[in-house]
Amino acid sequence: MAALCKWRHRLKPAGFFQNAVRRQLSDNYDYDLLVIGGGSGGLACSKEAAQFGKKVAVLDYVESSPKGTKWGLGGTCVNVGCIPKKLMHQAALLGGAVKDAQKYGWRIPSPITHDWLTMAPAVQDYIRSLNWGHRVQLQDKKVKYLNLKGSLMDGHTVKAVSKTGKESVLTAGNIVIATGGRPKYPTHIPGSLEYGISSDDIFWLKESPGKTLVVGASYIALECAGFLTGIGLDASVMVRSIPLRGFDQQIACLVTDYMGSYGTKFHWKCSPSKVEKLETGRLLVSWTDLDSGKEDQDTFDTVLWAVGRAPETRALNLEKVGVKMNRETGKVCVSADEATSVPHIYAIGDIADGRPELTPTAIQAGKLLARRLFGKSSELMDYDCVPTTVFTPLEYGSVGLSEEEAVRRHGEDGIEVFHAFYKPLEFTVAERDASHCYIKMVCLREGARRILGFHFTGPNAGEVTQGFALAIKCGATYTQLMATVGIHPTSAEEIIKLHITKRSGLDPTVTGC
């Protein structure tokens, strides 16, 4: 049967390939594994497969953004996502810390100003060192790296095109699609493509973005607006409906309230109608207030679209090969073992339907897939209870269910919600407003009260949340939480000390020591 499949594509017209068609014996592919996409998932999968002595290649190719931004190996996370985001968030936090430092006795000349031209190149240099690090790693682990744009020709064949248009054909026993996503542009808004930028561009700007309008309410929008405000720029966010869709909404509002009190301007329930360029070079944005119907306008230096991300499937030729996609999301349909509808073709990371758009899940899924394909493992990726953190100025860490989702699954009577407003000790001397620092633990109401969801807003939320992800994975209960001793003085200990329930109606504000 396999031999029949091989003969079938040898009958294709010879003019189809630029190179001579190779005479392939059955099961004699160029590679055991071909990965399309050199991001978090693709790199992890390829390196793991190579450990088993398999012949592996990674095709990575970055199509420039509409503004012309391009980058090296490593995918979204390394180049235009997690890494530069966290570094710029850190730059913003340091600005706040310097202000706090004065209250702690440091003599700092006022006012403190921030220089984009110092920060951006430093961040970009670090990213370039990661690009290089990945190159060295792939080479070291004997994974072939090809800077070519791949598309499927059939279940075992990939067409690869170089930036100069030169085509080649590669065959593989297994193919992994890990091409991720790219920011969407609201092309129905006049001027959006010509004058706006996206998260693909913001970290690579050669000059400060200046007064910026961020359109969107996802974590990308809020994190960007957050660090722009933090480094002293005039930043506004335009939200069509709700912030952080999919996240616990009570917490989402705490996050945006904090941002508002720290200087980010919000235009709620507004939608941009057009973007025009003025003679001065600045951008004039017109928008509609969706409630009142009123029109309004303002000028900005930069307009950043953060209105969603689209899966990179267009150029892959998936329909022709029969790889099923979810019509609504445009992502590739996968089963629990990351398999697509075509045998020997898999999909991991942001491109896969129903998966979290996170680096650690893509990496883990990639590794486990490689182990199942070549290492005789049968372990599937567990996508349950994946912790995340939103790195807005007030960070938000969570793992498990939002309160809304817990109510949906167990009913309001089936859950017990413990909560507390706390004040980080460091905020006291610094005279910082802690009214948005909050912890919420959603538990089952019966028995030992298993923890269903954990939510924490405050400094270092990511560091605080990581350990609790393990606890929840182990099925931790409120009873066990009560038996755990806190570390003092920390913000995290307030989680251990949770005892006020929403049901009681009592004031959840933590009082002194």
Partner 1 sequence: MARQYEEVTVRGYDEFMKAVSQRKGKDVFAYFSGSKNEQGASWCPDCVKAEPIVRGELSYLPPGSVFIYCQVGERPYWKDPNNEFKKTLKLSGVPTLLRYGTPQKLVEEECFKKDLVRMMFTED
We find the least distance from the C-beta atom of residue 295 to partner 1, in angstroms, to be 48
> What burial class does residue 375 get, using C-beta atoms within 10 Å of its C-beta: 0-12 exposed, 13-18 middle, 19+ buried?
middle
What residues between 222 and 241 interact with partner 1 by CB under 8 A?
none
Q: Which stretch binds partner 1 (CB under 8 A): 134-142, 154-162, 333-341, 486-494?
A: 134-142
The SS3 assignment for 396 reads strand
What residues between 93 and 132 interact with partner 1 by CB under 8 A?
125-126, 128-129, 131-132
Residue among 135 and 450 whose Cβ is closer to partner 1: 135
> Please, which contacts does 315-320 make with residues 24 or more away whose CB atoms are closer than 8 Å?
315/63, 315/149, 315/151, 316/36, 316/150, 316/151, 316/152, 316/177, 316/179, 317/151, 317/152, 317/153, 317/159, 318/152, 318/177, 320/152
Catalytic residue list contains 488: yes
- CA 462-468-472 angle, to 5 degrees, is 135
The SS3 assignment for 451 reads strand
> Which two tokens mark 21?
């068609």
Please tell me whether the peptide bond between 121 and the residue prior to it is cis, using omega within 30 degrees of 0.
Answer: no
Tell me if 55 contacts partner 1 by CB under 8 A. no
The SS3 assignment for 296 reads strand
Tell me if 136 contacts partner 1 by CB under 8 A. yes
We find the least distance from the C-beta atom of residue 127 to partner 1, in angstroms, to be 9
Tell me if 139 contacts partner 1 by CB under 8 A. yes
- Whether 325 and 331 have beta carbons less than 8 Å apart is answered as yes
Amino acid at 295: E
Residue among 120 and 417 whose Cβ is closer to partner 1: 120
* 220 carries a ligand binding annotation: yes
Alpha-carbon dihedral angle through residues 300, 302, 305, 306, given to the nearest 10 degrees? -100
We find the least distance from the C-beta atom of residue 143 to partner 1, in angstroms, to be 12
Residue among 165 and 505 whose Cβ is closer to partner 1: 165
Residue among 147 and 326 whose Cβ is closer to partner 1: 147
Pairing mode of beta strands 388-390, 345-347: unpaired
> Which two tokens mark 57?
């290649």
Residue among 139 and 377 whose Cβ is closer to partner 1: 139
Residue among 10 and 142 whose Cβ is closer to partner 1: 142
Name the nearest CA neighbour of 513 among 489, 485, 486.
Answer: 489
What residues between 140 and 159 interact with partner 1 by CB under 8 A?
140, 147
- For partner 1, the binding residue among 67, 135, 211, 324 (CB under 8 A) is 135
What single DSSP character describes residue 25? P
Classify 322 in phi/psi space as left (phi over 0), alpha (psi -120 to 50) or beta: left
We find the least distance from the C-beta atom of residue 75 to partner 1, in angstroms, to be 17
* 322 carries a ligand binding annotation: no
Phi, psi of 435 (to 5 degrees): -65, -5
We find the least distance from the C-beta atom of residue 71 to partner 1, in angstroms, to be 13
What single DSSP character describes residue 314? G
We find the least distance from the C-beta atom of residue 161 to partner 1, in angstroms, to be 17
Q: Which residue has the tokens 């507004």?
A: 270
Tell me if 483 contacts partner 1 by CB under 8 A. no
- Whether 299 and 282 have beta carbons less than 8 Å apart is answered as yes
We find the least distance from the C-beta atom of residue 132 to partner 1, in angstroms, to be 5
We find the least distance from the C-beta atom of residue 241 to partner 1, in angstroms, to be 42
Whole-angstrom CA distances from 251 to 247, 390, 460 are 8, 11, 16
Q: Which stretch binds partner 1 (CB under 8 A): 135-143, 231-239, 247-255, 286-294?
A: 135-143
Tell me if 413 contacts partner 1 by CB under 8 A. no
* 180 carries a ligand binding annotation: no
* 222 carries a ligand binding annotation: yes
Q: Which of 114, 419, 455, 488 is catalytic?
A: 488
* 219 carries a ligand binding annotation: yes
* Binding residues for partner 1, total number by CB under 8 A: 11
Other C-beta atoms closer than 10 Å to the C-beta of 257 total: 15
Residue among 7 and 132 whose Cβ is closer to partner 1: 132
Residue among 133 and 467 whose Cβ is closer to partner 1: 133
- DSSP string spanning 335-353? -TTSB-SSTTEEE-GGGBT
* 46 carries a ligand binding annotation: no
* 350 carries a ligand binding annotation: yes
- Whether 58 and 38 have beta carbons less than 8 Å apart is answered as yes
**Residue ranges at the known binding site for NAD(+):** 216-223, 308
**Residue ranges at the known binding site:** 86, 150, 216-223, 308, 350
User: Residues with catalytic annotation?
Assistant: 488
Q: Which residues bind partner 1 (CB under 8 A)?
A: 125-126, 128-129, 131-132, 135-136, 139-140, 147
**Residue ranges at the known binding site for FAD:** 86, 150, 350
